[in-house]
Amino acid sequence: MSRALFADRSDAGRQLARAVTKVSAGRSPLVLALPRGGVPVALEVARALDAPLDVLVVRKLGMPGYEELAMGAIAGGGAEVINEDVVRSYGVPEAAIQAVREREQAELARRERAYRGDRPPLHLRGRDVVVVDDGVATGATIRAAVAALRQAGVGHITVAVPVAAPDVARQLAREADELVCLALPEPFGAVGRFYDRFDQTTDEEVRRALAESPAGP
């Protein structure tokens, strides 16, 4: 088992923030967290940049019967990424994908309401954004986020994560304008193995982080 690289998500965020500030000099980005686990990481990045923090809700499309395996993901705004390799390897029929898609779309809408409350819609066109998560294993979720941001017409996309699988990081480096990643361990496995503490982030913690951010309400 690999030695933990981070004490917890806040520690990872502070370490990541030091790297992000070097590449964001001269920009005034909006920091977007992928909830829930990316929010404590992104809060530290937003503090270091003195930048506003918000969330971009993305939902994984889990394999029926093995939900931890991502066959794709959807994001607010209608963006979708399908992991064609997984779908082909397991022979997942379109009807099964559609059933998962509809369930996750309902959950995405619920989480948007739960996290953002009465906040106005995100205005992203022309903005520079830093997209933050607590780590990347398959990449489906954060790739859906990047696709949604492209559709929204953002100016510059920096993906910032503490740790990522090397092959997925190479793919993200092509799809984003910039990638900041502190560690690319092999073999990778699960994101949680690189943290001493990897407790589930709650909805309340997400709302509190948004309130505490530099441009919080």
- Within 10 Å of residue 5's Cβ, how many Cβ atoms? 18
Residue 206 has what pLDDT?
Answer: 93
Residue 176 has what pLDDT?
Answer: 96
8 Å CB contact between 186 and 65: no
Show me where the domains of the chain are located. 9-57+120-212
> Cβ contacts of residue 61 below 8 Å, gap of 6+?
70, 71, 72, 73, 74, 82, 97, 100, 101, 104, 140
Residue 190 has what pLDDT?
Answer: 92
Residue 1 has what pLDDT?
Answer: 43
> Cβ contacts of residue 35 below 8 Å, gap of 6+?
55, 57, 111, 115, 201, 206
The C-alpha atoms of residue 122 and residue 11 are separated, in whole angstroms, by: 28
Residue 75 has what pLDDT?
Answer: 82
The C-alpha atoms of residue 64 and residue 46 are separated, in whole angstroms, by: 36
**144: β partners:** none
Short-list 61, 31, 33, 69, CA closest to 201: 33
The C-alpha atoms of residue 154 and residue 32 are separated, in whole angstroms, by: 12
Whole-number Cα distances in Å, 123 to 26, 154, 196: 21, 9, 36
Please name the residue that has the structure tokens 């022309």: 126
CATH number of 9-57+120-212: 3.40.50.2020
Segments of the chain with pLDDT less than 70: 1-2, 77, 215-217
Distance of CA 3 to the CA centre of its chain: 23
8 Å CB contact between 32 and 64: no
Short-list 18, 37, 53, CA closest to 214: 53
Please report how many Cα atoms fall inside a 13 Å half-sphere around the Cα of residue 174, on the Cβ side.
6
Residue 215 has what pLDDT?
Answer: 63
- Within 10 Å of residue 157's Cβ, how many Cβ atoms? 22
Residue 40 has what pLDDT?
Answer: 97
Residue 121 has what pLDDT?
Answer: 77
